[in-house]
Amino acid sequence: MGLTRRSGGSRAMQEGFLKRQYSGADYVVALAGNPNTGKSTVFNALTGLNQHTGNWPGKTVLRAEGRYIHRGMIFKLVDLPGTYSLMANSPEEQVARDYLCFGKPDATVVVADATCLERNLNLVLQVLEITTRVVVCVNLVDEARRKKIKIDFQLLAAELGVPVVPAAARHRHGLDKLVEVVSEMAAGRITTRPVAIRYGEEIEESVRKLEPKIKKLVGEEFNSRWLALRLLDKDRAVLAALENWLAGRNSLAAGMEGVILG
Amino acid sequence: MNRGSAFTGLNEILQEAERLNPAGSLKLSDSIVSAIYGRAERIAQKAVSQEARPAVDWDKRLDDILTSKLFGFPSMFLLLAALFWVTVSGANYPSEVLAAVLFRGQEKLAELLAWLRVPAFVSSFLADGVYRCLAWVVSVMLPPMAIFFPCFALLEDLGYLPRVAFNLDSLFKKAGAHGKQSLTMSMGLGCNAAGVISCRIIESPRERLIAVLTNNFVPCNGRFPTLIALAGLLATGAGASAGAALIVSGMVLSGIAVTLAVSWILSKTLLKGIPSSFTLELPPYRRPQLGRVIARSVFDRILFVLRRAACVAAPAGAVIWLAANVQAGGASIMAHFAGWLDPFGRLLGMDGHIMAAFLLGLPANEIVLPVLIMSYTAAGSMLELDSFEALRQLFMAEHGWTWLTAVCMMLFSLLHYPCGTTLWTIYKETNSFKWAILSALIPLLVACLVCFAAARAARLLGWA
């Protein structure tokens, strides 16, 4: 709702006027999560007043970006819309999903609610299908403690194959650690080992046939397994994004040729 | 490499995909969903353990009361009334102090201009026109805003607002609208333009349009203080604050009733269809972050009001001063205008000056009351308007207001067209002049009908 901040306050009317403000960031970090997990609290705590809002291109979905500096490096934090899944059932889910694949953030933080971790893990696993450079921030651990919920974070990290940072963002607990892990992840100093989910032999067989062709087309740019699954499902949105990207690359390539020939 | 070959590659892949998964025979989504959910469940079972459930689940206990069929609505009304009571009784004092300070500023400004030997006409224009309108907007608007919104933000931070949506959901469903409309409605309490933008959370275009078209029936930032000031005129004596709070709560409830009624009519006529269903999660109650929420929303409000005052009220003050002071044929332009509107105003239980103020208030509802005061005072004696008493004196004694005038003006303010910014936002959101114009005409029609009916009924019954 956010009546407290952007939506009802003095900035309400600036919406749509500001597009991406900073291009000079060293790393781009996406922030995903279910609604009501304290995602905005994390976003606000990290970026402070360095925030800008606008719309996602072509969609009436609010896009918030912010920036923070850690060890001399500028991190741009992109707040994805809060969603329960990435099945692209709504504009929000589609925006979040397309950004994770085609926006190619250097790291992605998935904020999860410690008090109902199972439901939140669905989103984490779906994000892991698209990108492996993920840090899971298990937020609201103070509330979970109050409800006598115990979480084995080491086991969780081992199961997911990516770093897990417990946090209570409202009290700024765990955020220093989060920033630290994110910067390691963005710089590529952390190896992740997520276990890909297998879907029945028939589907896997089809993916095996399709994946090499996709690799040939897009190279190592995107997650070819995920693209294979999406194209197998004839996902129009992904197809459009892919076409768009191909067109962009081609025009770039054409431009380069011109330079070389000239 | 050219454009063609890349797309050929993509086309080949698509053909292959069609061959591998003809007409979706692999049931991809189903198996992905079940695989992911199964995996999430297994991981959660391993990594999460729940020690003995807490003895009392306070969230559930609280929800049993606040969202129950029996107590849901009464508790909502009580909270609303309490919120207004805090606002009304809390705003009085700072409002008077601000007014006293700002109007002393007007004297000083006039003195300064006199010392600078500025011609009387220009001096009056600046001090009585521009400055006075600005001072009015700030002193009337700021205190209620700076009290109401932090309190409202606290309720939001506490996790209460989704419960409001939950309570109201069935009503909106019955009206053929979307349950989330109650959320866009509460956003409209802050600012109708923001409320209109927030209608994006409603996926179905039909229901989103209903929400957009009816958003202005909840009083926004700019109309709240007008309602509060007018309620203050009506409620006198010992329980004045409580009485005013009840009147304002009643007004907001009527606004919600009209929202539902108009939504129902729209969903039966212009925007036919069945409401779509949605899942609404009730988040746990959380202890609000008192300091931060209050500081943040007070700050936001002050900036908002000051910015509006500077951008809209000051220029409006200039225009209105000119209208009230430029003479044509023995009377001011304003007086001509008000006189022309007077029969219509009387029909609706008000007078021509009030109608003129509403018309001139189109850019921003904040200035309706200042315009009215200026239009009244320019015609007659000038007086210091630094208290409710002075306002009562001006309206009731000098311009023949009755309780009916105040009620009709409140109703009209509650129901009439949204401000210019909101209309522009509606145009941008719907990308259609038709809906933007309708979103002004429908409320105007409703406002006229309701005020006419109220005035007629009261006069027929001999109450006024």
Beta A149-151 vs B48-50: how paired, if at all? antiparallel
Tally of CA atoms within 13 A in the half-sphere of B79 that contains its CB: 16
Roughly how many angstroms between the first and final C-alpha of chain B, as a whole number?
A: 85
pLDDT, greater one: B215 or B162? B215
CB-count burial class (<10 Å; 0-12, 13-18, 19+) for B50: exposed
Q: How far is A76 from chain B (nearest CA, A)?
A: 24
Residue A260 has pLDDT above 50, yes or no: no
For residue B278, what pLDDT band results from cuts at 50, 70 and 90?
low
Tokens of residue B172, six digits: 């909106």
CB-count burial class (<10 Å; 0-12, 13-18, 19+) for B77: middle
* Per-residue pLDDT reduced to its tens digit, A193-240: 888 888 888 888 888 888 888 888 887 778 888 888 888 888 888 888
Residue A3 has pLDDT above 50, yes or no: no
Give the A window 178-207 contacts with B, CB below 8 Å: 197-200, 202-203, 206
Contact B192, B422 (CB under 8 A): yes
Average pLDDT of chain B? 83
- Distance (Å, rounded) from C-alpha A44 to C-alpha A39? 9
Residue of B nearest to A87 (CA): B29
CB contact under 8 A, A148 and B301: no
- With both helix axes pointing from N to C terminus, report the angle between B403-415 and B240-268 in degrees, rounded to the nearest 10: 40
* Per-residue pLDDT reduced to its tens digit, A105-136: 999 999 999 988 888 999 999 999 889 899 99
B379, part of any domain: yes
Measure CA B426 to chain center.
14
Q: How far is A26 from chain B (nearest CA, A)?
A: 30
Tokens of residue B43, six digits: 């991981």
Tally of CA atoms within 13 A in the half-sphere of B137 that contains its CB: 29
CB contact under 8 A, B31 and A5: no
For residue A16, what pLDDT band results from cuts at 50, 70 and 90?
very low
B193, part of any domain: no
- Distance (Å, rounded) from C-alpha B174 to C-alpha A239? 40
User: What single-letter amino acid sits at A211?
Assistant: E
Number of structural domains chain B divides into: 1
* Per-residue pLDDT reduced to its tens digit, A142-169: 988 888 888 999 999 999 999 999 999 8
Tokens of residue A159, six digits: 């199961």
Residue of A168, A169, A170, A163 lying closest to A186 (CA atoms): A163
Residue of A243, A239, A222 lying closest to A230 (CA atoms): A239
- Distance (Å, rounded) from C-alpha B200 to C-alpha B218? 18
- Distance (Å, rounded) from C-alpha A155 to C-alpha A164? 10
B35, part of any domain: no
Residue of A125, A110, A109, A120 lying closest to A179 (CA atoms): A109
- With both helix axes pointing from N to C terminus, report the angle between B403-415 and B433-460 in degrees, rounded to the nearest 10: 160
Task: Please tell me whether the interface predicted TM-score (ipTM) of this complex is above 0.90.
Answer: no
pLDDT value of position B307: 80
User: What single-letter amino acid sits at B236?
Assistant: T
What residues of A are in contact with residue B152 (Cβ under 8 Å)?
3
B347, part of any domain: yes
B448, part of any domain: yes
B433, part of any domain: yes
Residue span of the structural domain in which B360 resides: 293-461
> Torsions phi, psi of A107, nearest 5?
-155, 155
Give the B window 51-80 contacts with A, CB below 8 Å: 51-54
CB contact under 8 A, A126 and B53: no
CB contact under 8 A, B43 and A152: no
Q: Mapping DSSP to helix (H, G, I), strand (E, B) and coil, where does residue A109 land?
A: strand
Q: Span B424-435, mean pLDDT? A: 88
pLDDT value of position A9: 38
B258, part of any domain: no
A59-63, B171-175, B252-256: least confident range: A59-63
Residue A5 has pLDDT above 50, yes or no: no
Residue of A nearest to B199 (CA): A60
Residue of A162, A112, A164, A120 lying closest to A140 (CA atoms): A112
Tokens of residue B194, six digits: 């923001």
B167, part of any domain: no
Percentage of residues in chain B having pLDDT higher than 70: 93
The DSSP annotation for B237-250 comes to STTHHHHHHHHHHH
Contact B254, B450 (CB under 8 A): no
By Cβ distance, the residue of B14, B52, B200 closest to A231 is: B14
- Distance (Å, rounded) from C-alpha B296 to C-alpha B294? 5
pLDDT value of position A15: 32
pLDDT value of position A28: 92
Roughly how many angstroms between the first and final C-alpha of chain A, as a whole number?
A: 55
CB contact under 8 A, B9 and A213: yes
Q: Is A60 on the interface with B (CB under 8 A)?
A: yes
User: What single-letter amino acid sits at A44?
Assistant: N
B316 to A99, B102, B108, B153, B364: CA distances (angstroms): 45, 18, 22, 31, 9
Measure CA A51 to chain center.
18
Tokens of residue B254, six digits: 């009527």
Tokens of residue A84, six digits: 């329960």
For residue A175, what pLDDT band results from cuts at 50, 70 and 90?
very high
Q: Is A258 on the interface with B (CB under 8 A)?
A: no
Q: Span B144-150, mean pLDDT? A: 82
Q: Is B15 on the interface with A (CB under 8 A)?
A: no
- Distance (Å, rounded) from C-alpha A68 to C-alpha A211? 37
Contacts of B408 (CB under 8 A, 6+ apart): B348, B349, B350, B451, B454, B455
